[in-house]
Amino acid sequence: MQLKPFIAVLPNTAGLTKIKTTDQNWSAQDEQTQADSSYYWYELTQNGVHQWRLIARWPENQTVSTMVPADINTVLYPKQPVIEMLIDDWVGHFPKALEVTDDAGVTHRLWQITDTTVNTDITEALAPVQPNKTWLTTTSTPLVMLVADSEWAKFKTPVTVPTHLIKLALKTP
C-alpha cells in the first residue's frame, strides 16, 4: 500500500466538547493543526471491546470498490504480525493526541506517532500488504483507516467515526 504520514488537524478542547455533545456548529476555532507529519494509532472502545486502526495518508488517485464509503475510508487487510507488533511496542511511547467519548458511548483515542523512524518502519511494513479489495474506496480520498480483518470483526455493527475527529491539513503550519 502506498501510505505515508500526514499533517493532521485535530479538535481542540472546544472541538472535543462539541463532539461529545454532537454540536454541529463547527468552526476553525474548534481545531488545531499538528506540527509534524505523522501516522496515528486510533483506538475505539465500546462496551469494553477495543478495536485498533491506523490512520494514514492515501494516494489521492487511489480508487477501487467499497461497501462503506466515508470521509475517512476503512481498508481491511489480512492480519499483519509486524503491524500488530508496532502497535504493541510503540503506542504507549507516544503522546495521546486526544480522547473523547461520543453520545453513543464509543470512546475514541488517537496517538500521534512522533518518531520518524517508527513512521518509516510503518511505511515499509505496509508497502507489500495487499488490502482486501472489497473494502477500499470508490472515490478518491486523502485519508484512510487500516483495520486488520480480525479487528474489524470485533464489533457486531461498525462504529461511527466523529466527523471532525481528524482530517488532513490543507497546508503546513
pLDDT along the chain (173 residues), means of 10: 91 94 92 94 93 87 56 76 75 87 93 91 86 59 83 83 90 55
Is residue 33 in some structural domain? yes
Is residue 51 in some structural domain? yes
Is residue 2 in some structural domain? no
In contact, 166 and 5? CB cutoff 8 Å = no
Tell me, what's the pLDDT at 109?
A: 96
Is residue 154 in some structural domain? yes
Domain that holds residue 88: 8-168
Our CA dihedral for 133, 138, 143, 149, rounded to 10 degrees, sits at: -30
Which cell numbers in the block locate residue 2? 502506498
Is residue 3 in some structural domain? no
pTM of the complete model:
0.88
Is residue 47 in some structural domain? yes
Q: State the total domains in the chain.
A: 1
DSSP bridge partners of 57: 4, 143
Q: Which phi and psi (to 5°) does residue 74 adopt? A: -100, 125
Tell me, what's the pLDDT at 100?
A: 96
